[in-house]
Structure formats: C-alpha cells, structure tokens
A = this chain, B = another copy of it.
C-alpha cells in the first residue's frame, strides 16, 4: 500500500496541543504510570520516540489545566479552547475575564483571517460608534504587558539549541518564553493568543483578540501583549478561508465567522465542562520529549536534526475521560 506520507512518525502524535488528537492520548492516559514519578529521562535512558515518552509519562508529569483560566469559544466548526497566562499578563487577563463574564464575546465574530499570520475576533460592529458593544466595567486602555521580570515566575526550562531572537528560549508553566537577562516574555509561537492594539501601546484591552496561525511572527514579541494560547481546536481558526481584504480582513460582515459564545470552563455546567491536562514543561517526561523531537527515532528519518527551535516543540494536551472524574 503506497502512501507517501512525508513523515510517518507524525502518525503518532504530531503537535498534540493543536491537532485535536487528544482523543488518541486517552489510551496513553489509561496505560501510564509505569515509570516512577521523577525517574530520570535524561542521558541514562535509552532513546525514545515522542509517542513512547508520552505513553510512559507518569500522571505526576501531567498538570490539570485550571478551568478558571480556560476559555471555551463556540465556533461553527467546533470549540476552541484557550489557556490564559495571568503570570505574564495579569491586567489583560483580568480585563478579558470581565468581558467574558459580561457576555461581551457572545455573538462576536472572526473579522480577520490573515494567511501565515493571525486570526482575529472582535465585536462585529466595532467600527460603528452607534452600534458597537459597551465595554461595561472593563477598562478601555491598559498598561502594556510586553515583558516582565524573571523573578517571581515558575521554573524556566531552557532549550539547548539557541534562538535567533533572544539570548535564551524555553518554557515557563507550559508557555513558550524568551529571555534576555532578567526580562522574560511570551513568544508568538503558533497558537499563541494576544490582545490587538492600535499604535498607542496602551490601546490594547483584550476586546479584540488574535491567534497566530502561521510561522511564528517573532517581530511581534515585546510589541503586543500575549494573554495565552490555544490548547485545543486551533484547526477551527486556521482552516478558515482567508479574508479577501488587505491584511486578511473580511470586508463583508455577512461573511464574518460567528462566535456564538465564550465562557470560562469553570462557568460551564459540570456535564459540559472540558477537563484537560497538559504535560508539565518542568517534568522529566518533557525533557525526554524535547530530546525525542531534537533527534527523531522514527525509522522514516535518515538524519535527525539534533536541534530544535522553541516554536517546534509540541505542548501535549489530553482530555481526561469522563469515567475518571
């Protein structure tokens, strides 16, 4: 059976965080805990593929995604779920929360699909002063949160292979982060979510959000506030037809993609509430995953790269099956 596949290894678990393959991971979930928690996955262990790493990851190497930080967007194609990053953008995350809880995003719409760049959503009447939604008690402007001190953050797990844009790159609490000395910032990897702004640095308030759907636009780092990342359902953003107007804007409101409702997972009825877990980026399993992705063990590869850049490291997310709850 001929099926040229470029890279059959990805049959196993490509870009788990984004590919909506969480269901596949449920098997892994049921068969984990064969490795003792904290067992070294470093030099002494034999080389493993990413699938093997995930299958062997003990439950303690997974963390629940806090439903109080998890947004659920209802799109025509299915739900998109976003984990917020209050450690990096406390003011913006609080403002987004105010807007979400006031129903600001219910009946909002995707107004821009810019190829190899971003999807952006907002009040569809935002350009009409007579019809646009009120921000209610949310702030209209916010002091930017483009970067922050390293001090006070969770553990920074550095990647070994350098970065074209910063002195170091790695992960903090599951988020891709770059740093120069004492300053750290979230990085515009695929799936990251930010707060659009006008030219004034304080003009972003979270009422207009975007998600990266292309090669990491690192030029945006430290120029706009990132608030989180898509952990499930990115394909409902990225698979949309591109907007025909300049910058990918959709110029006919009748062609806006509707967002019926945005809720915090914690505000959904128990039966509807998604329960997700992410691999801890400060775990031995994650260290082994990075190594597995730097040096692919799958038989398809003839020359493992031996290197990896920040935005090529997948962030595995799995659904916790209902019967575990």
Q: CB within 8 Å of B: which residues of A? A: 1-8, 10-11, 14-15, 18-21, 24, 77, 113-118, 120, 122, 126-127, 146, 161-165, 189-191, 194-199, 201, 203-204, 207-208, 210, 214-224, 234-235, 238-242, 246-248, 293, 296, 299-305, 307-309, 311-312
Contact = CB atoms under 8 A, between A and B. Distances in A.
Contacts of A165: 161, 305, 307, 309
A167 B141 CA distance: 44
A126 B2 contact: yes
19 contacts: A3-B127, A4-B196, A4-B197, A5-B198, A6-B194, A6-B210, A6-B220, A7-B217, A7-B219, A7-B224, A19-B116, A20-B242, A116-B191, A189-B215, A218-B307, A219-B308, A221-B305, A223-B303, A239-B242
**Do most interface residues of chain A lie in helix, strand or loop, or is the interface mixed?**
loop
Given A2-B126, A21-B246, A117 B15 contact: yes
Given A4-B198, A10-B114, A164-B307, 5 more contacts: A4-B195, A6-B197, A146-B303, A218-B312, A219-B293
A18 B235 contact: no
Contact of A312 (B3, B161, B219): B219
Q: Which one of A18, A207, A219, A222 has the highest number of Cβ atoms from chain B below 10 Å of its Cβ?
A: A219
Contacts of A120: 4-6
Contacts of A247: 5, 8, 10-11, 14
A314 to B, nearest CB: 10
A220 B300 CA distance: 10
B303 A238 contact: no
A126 B11 CA distance: 19
Nearest to A113: B239
B115 A239 contact: yes
Contacts of A122: 4
- Top 7 closest A-B pairs, CB basis? A4-B196, A4-B208, A164-B309, A235-B242, A115-B235, A239-B241, A239-B242
B219 A296 contact: yes
A1 to B, nearest CB: 6
Contacts of A214: 190, 214-215
Contacts of A235: 115, 242
B246 A308 contact: no
A148 B224 CA distance: 41
B162 A15 contact: no
Contacts of A208: 4
Nearest to A305: B219
A224 B6 contact: yes
A199 B299 contact: yes
